[in-house]
Each structure stands twice: as C-alpha cells, then as structure tokens.
C-alpha cells in the first residue's frame, strides 16, 4: 500500500500512474520487437544528399565514417588539423569518384569553428548531421599528466563539442530537423587506469548528451536527434600498448559501419559491444569491493592498460 501511495505521489495521481504504466508496457514491447527484428527488416533513413560534418575526419574512425558516408552518396565535410591526412583522404575520395569538402580546423578554437561553420553553410547549405569524433588520450597516470595536457584533453574531447554544436544547432532548430552524433567511450561509463583525464571527458560528454536531449525534448524538437556512441577501445593507434584480456580491440571500419546504422535508425545510445550497456550498470548494485575484485582479478583492466602510451593527435576518438 505504501509503495502505491509513493508512486501516485511521484507521478501526480491515478490517471498519470495509468498512463505511465501503459507507456512502460508499450516502450518495452517496442524495444523487444526491435531487438528481435533482423537488421535488414528494420527501417533506416536515407543519407543520400545529406550534408554531414565530421570532426577528426581524416583518420581512424573518422576516415572510415567519411568513406562509408561518401559511398552512401552523402555530402561529406571533413574537419581535421592533419593536412597530410586530409590530402590523402581527398585522393581516396577522388579515386572512388566521390567529392569531399575539407577544412583545416582546430576544434578547440571556437572562433575558427564558427568561421568554418559559416563557410560550410555558404558552400553547401545548412548541415543535416554533425559527427563530433575528434579526440585525444595522454595515457599516463594522474600525477604524470602535464597540466597543459589535462587542459588540452578537456578542450578537444568535450569543450569543443560546445563550439561545434552551437555552430550548427541553431539552423537545425530553425529547420526543425537535424542530428548530432557524439563519439564517446566506454570509459565514460567505467573509470579506467591511466585515463583519469580521458575518462573524465567522456563522462562529461555523457552528461552533455543527456542534458541537451532533455532540453530538445522539453521544447518539442523531436525531429532533432542525438546519438551518443560509447565504444570499447578502437584499434586506431590511440590506445597503442593496451592489451585487453577479455575483448579484442574494435576495428575502425566495423565501428564506423555500426555508427552509420545508428544514425540511420536514429538511435539515442550506442554501446559497443552492445552487452556492456547492461553489464556496466551492475556496478551500482553490487559492493564496490566486489567490483574491484572482478576488475582486477578477472577482467584485469589495470594490468591491460599498463603499457598504454596514448596519442595526442585529433584524428580519431
């Protein structure tokens, strides 16, 4: 009886309680049906002709995203700081008979971001999809991370998202449609050895994603979609020296393919591997000492990160 009274007090009355129950059943059934439906039978929106900006798009996952989106006949725009990598990507596009718009942009410089965003709009028109992919990792223990690298990691991995999203979101709001993709990490759900700076930025990204989603939903912008991607370590060189015990590193091509599928399905959260979306929250329901025992003795997470050397360019997340 007390539980029912508590629920009614929280949801605001009997009618609201019934509505919540109905929505709970509906959305759970919808999720189950989507889960068991074969991929080729599920709806996916077309990306043909869509104007898509990818930060850190000249290497790693960003490069794979650019190539695969180009093959889907999207209008791809790459932002990166690595001129040689950008030129190499432009050549690959040319060899495949595709066009690529590219700009040398430091996403930590908000003035440069706003300037180049205006150039993109002038050259191509309003942007349909923004993919925030740029990222760096230092790969050092807490006291060994130089102060300037702490600042840079936050600037690249999370603060830059404020500048890029601000640069394009206003037009999306005016048009009533758009899509913002943020490439995070499983380390934004579970703290990791030698990643006190990197992991913190990915946790922050999770908060940014959910809070912005709340604002958009509250004001009725249901056709502006957000997708937060939280993958395991990716074999791009960023985590060179890392030797995971329980899982193999993900390959950039496969990660890019799955991200594009998530965009086309308008998924809000994408965790790779998918099972970790359900496994990681278990840490909140078991003793912390047990979590540590499993992490250290079974998964051997810290041991697998001992050899991590990191990488400080911004061509992959």
> Looking at residue 317, what is its pLDDT?
46
pTM of the model: 0.88
Rounded Cα distance, 239 and 83, in Å: 22
Q: Please report whether residue 186 resides in a domain.
A: yes
Q: Please report whether residue 36 resides in a domain.
A: no
Q: Please report whether residue 25 resides in a domain.
A: no
Q: Please report whether residue 245 resides in a domain.
A: yes
Active site residues: 198
Residue range(s) defining the domain that contains residue 74: 44-306
Task: Work out the percent of the chain whose per-residue pLDDT is above 90.
Answer: 67
Any idea what DSSP says for residue 145?
S
* 235 Cβ contact list (under 8 Å, min separation 6): 249, 250, 251, 252
3-state secondary structure of 312: strand
Question: What is the tally of structural domains in the chain?
Answer: 1
> Looking at residue 39, what is its pLDDT?
62
Instruction: Classify each residue of 22-40 as buried b or exposed e, where b means 16 or more C-beta atoms within 10 Å of its C-beta.
Output: eeeeeeeeeeeeeeeeeee
Q: Please report whether residue 297 resides in a domain.
A: yes
pLDDT band with cut points at 50, 70 and 90 for residue 154: very high
Q: Please report whether residue 161 resides in a domain.
A: yes
pLDDT band with cut points at 50, 70 and 90 for residue 3: low
Mean pLDDT of 41-57: 92
Q: Is the pLDDT of residue 98 over 50?
A: yes
Any idea what DSSP says for residue 157?
I
Among 81-85, 164-168, 175-179, 272-276, the least confident range: 272-276
Q: Please report whether residue 23 resides in a domain.
A: no
> Looking at residue 40, what is its pLDDT?
61
Q: Which CATH number characterizes residue 104's domain?
A: 3.40.50.720
Q: Please report whether residue 24 resides in a domain.
A: no
């Amino acid at each position: 009886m007390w539980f029912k009274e508590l629920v009614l007090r929280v949801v605001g009355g009997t009618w609201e309680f019934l509505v919540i129950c109905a929505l709970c059943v509906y959305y759970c059934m919808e999720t189950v049906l989507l889960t068991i439906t074969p991929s080729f039978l599920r709806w996916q929106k077309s990306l043909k002709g869509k104007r898509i900006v990818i930060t850190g798009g000249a290497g790693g996952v960003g490069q794979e995203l650019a190539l695969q989106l180009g093959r889907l006949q999207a209008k791809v725009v790459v932002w990166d700081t690595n001129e040689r990598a950008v030129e190499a990507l432009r050549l690959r596009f040319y060899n495949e008979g595709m066009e690529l718009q590219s700009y040398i942009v430091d996403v930590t410089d908000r003035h440069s971001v706003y300037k180049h965003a205006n150039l993109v709009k002038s050259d191509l028109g309003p942007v349909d999809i923004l993919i925030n992919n740029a990222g760096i990792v230092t790969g050092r223990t807490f006291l060994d991370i130089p102060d300037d690298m702490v600042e840079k990691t936050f600037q690249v991995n999370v603060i830059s998202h404020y500048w890029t999203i601000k640069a394009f979101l206003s037009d999306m709001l005016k048009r009533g449609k758009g899509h913002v993709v943020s490439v995070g990490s499983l380390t934004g759900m579970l703290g990791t050895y030698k990643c006190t700076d990197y992991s913190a930025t990915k946790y922050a990204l999770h908060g940014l994603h959910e809070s912005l989603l709340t604002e958009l939903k509250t004001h009725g912008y249901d056709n502006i979609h957000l997708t937060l991607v939280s993958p395991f370590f990716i074999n791009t060189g960023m985590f060179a020296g890392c030797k995971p015990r329980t899982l193999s590193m993900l390959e950039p091509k496969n990660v890019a393919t799955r991200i594009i599928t998530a965009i086309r399905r308008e998924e809000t959260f994408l965790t790779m591997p998918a099972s970790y979306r359900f496994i990681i929250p278990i840490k909140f329901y078991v003793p912390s000492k047990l979590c540590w025992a499993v992490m250290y003795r079974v998964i051997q997470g810290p041991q697998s990160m001992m050899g991590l050397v990191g990488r400080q360019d911004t061509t992959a997340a």
